[in-house]
Amino acid sequence: MTDVVTLAVLNNPRLKADRLRLGIAHAQLLQAGLLPEPEVQAGFSHPTAGPPPLVNGYSAGLMEDLSAIITRHDRRAQARARGDKVRLDILWDEWQVAYKAQQLYIRIRAQAREMRVLGAWRHVCEKTYRSDLVALKHGELTTAQLAVDQARQEQASAHWWSLKRRQYKTWLALDALLGLQPGVEPKLAGKAKLPSWSAADFHKALMHMPERRPDLQALQAGYRSQEARVRQAILQQFPALSLGISRGQDTQNVQTIGFAIHLTLPLFGQAHARIAIARATRAYLHKSYQDRLDEAVNQVHELHGTSALLRAQLRKERARWASLRTMDRSNRQSFDDGMMDTADYLDTHAHAVAVHMKVITLEAQLRRAQSDLALLLGQAPCPNSTLPSGPTG
């Protein structure tokens, strides 16, 4: 399972595209730390008439926006938090792909077991039906019994083919997730080793969930970015200041040097509107984070309760299967010895097969629930592998 998860994270086409966003975030952080380019002004004049002495006039000036220096720290803080959000969003996407790979691994392994069980049952039903056809020709079997065995054989075959189609779709989903060609079926080995929590461990993990889940951390980073944007808007309500130096000469050869100051006066409320928008956005982000956290807590409790119920049901069905398996072996021996007729043996064997299939299904459901719970609690997928387990960059 660890190999499947690792390949999914490394080879998934969508994740490869998502990681390119990191370059954009890095470039935005670099841009946020740069000052505005200085503004150069120049002019030239040539006299056409007037009292001597006449010379060519010129003017030159250099202007720099000083307000950008005042907001530089907050612009960098905003860009840094925005970059953290991008990295955490990508990490959360990686985790979701990893856990989806776990789910598909669990499903494929369970379907392979189900195929073996159903295949054996289908073989028994087909063999019995072929024997019935021979017995019917010799007058040793009634058409009513043949119809019963034929219906049983057709039902077993229909169940087998239905599972075969589901298995094919699962393989296609796994191939797409791993970036493989459709129809490739890697040989899967091992078992799904998934965590289980005691009551104390569960409540501890739930308490630390906001610190461990990348999506919740990404929302926190988005809030920090907007907090920096609010500070920028507040600073921008003061007059924007540009300072420059100029030098010139007129056509009468009078040379000058001086300073220039440009002020943008906030007279019409634009700055206050920007502050209001920034604060409203910050409030919205805070509410969105709280809503996501509440939803996550509810989902965790639901899955934790579902896992407990599945575990209790699985214990009961495993006990039934252990008892039926022993009984089925005894019935098989009686059938081979001619002490049990075909109809009775097939009825009891069908019941044993149904319980066995239920055990396999419940085991897969429990493992998938444990996988979902681990994701929601913020546990890094396959912690012993080389996959990232926290914010990167």
Q: What is the mean pLDDT of residues 112-126?
A: 94
pLDDT for 107 equals 94
* Mean pLDDT, rounded, for 10-33: 82
Q: Which residue has the higher pLDDT, 363 or 47?
A: 363
**266 pLDDT tier (thresholds 50, 70, 90):** low
pLDDT of residue 261: 76
- The average confidence (pLDDT) of the chain is 84
Phi, psi at 255, each rounded to 5°: -100, 140
Q: What whole-number distance in Å separates Cα of residue 81 and Cα of residue 221?
A: 5
Residue in 139, 171, 102 with CA at minimum distance from that of residue 374: 102
* Total length of the chain: 393
Residue 145, pLDDT above cutoff 60: yes
How is residue 166 written in tokens? Answer: 């589901």
CA 324, 329, 334 angle in degrees (round to 5)?
Answer: 120
Average pLDDT over residues 147-159: 91
Torsion sign, CA atoms 138, 139, 141, 147: positive
Question: What is the arithmetic mean of pLDDT over 82-98?
Answer: 90
Residue type, 217: Q
- pLDDT tens track for 178-211: 888 888 888 888 887 787 788 888 899 999 999 8
**φ and ψ at residue 345, rounded to 5 degrees:** -65, -45
Give the number of other Cβ atoms within 10 Å of residue 122's Cβ: 20
Bridging pattern class, strands 255-264 and 240-249 = antiparallel
Higher pLDDT, 162 or 267: 162
Question: DSSP string covering 78-138, please?
Answer: HHHHHHHHHHHHHHHHHHHHHHHHHHHHHHHHHHHHHHHHHHHHHHHHHHHHHHHHHHHHT
Q: Which of the four pLDDT bands, split at 50, 70 and 90, describes residue 310? A: very high
Token pair of 48, please? 């056409």
Helix boundaries (H) for the chain: 2-11, 13-19, 21-32, 67-70, 72-137, 143-178, 199-207, 209-212, 214-235, 270-336, 342-376
Whole-number pLDDT of residue 393: 35
CB atoms within 10 A of CB 38: 11
For residue 103, what pLDDT is reported?
93
- Given this model, what pLDDT does residue 269 score? 66
Q: Return the structure tokens found at 65.
A: 């926006």
Q: Is the pLDDT of residue 392 over 60?
A: no
pLDDT value of position 194:
81
pLDDT above 70 (res 383): no
Instruction: Please give the pLDDT value at position 382.
Output: 63
| DSSP codes joined into one string, 151-174 | HHHHHHHHHHHHHHHHHHHHHHHH
Q: Which of 56-70, 73-87, 238-252 has the highest mean pLDDT?
A: 73-87
Tell me: pLDDT of 69 over 90. no
Residue 3 DSSP one-character state: H
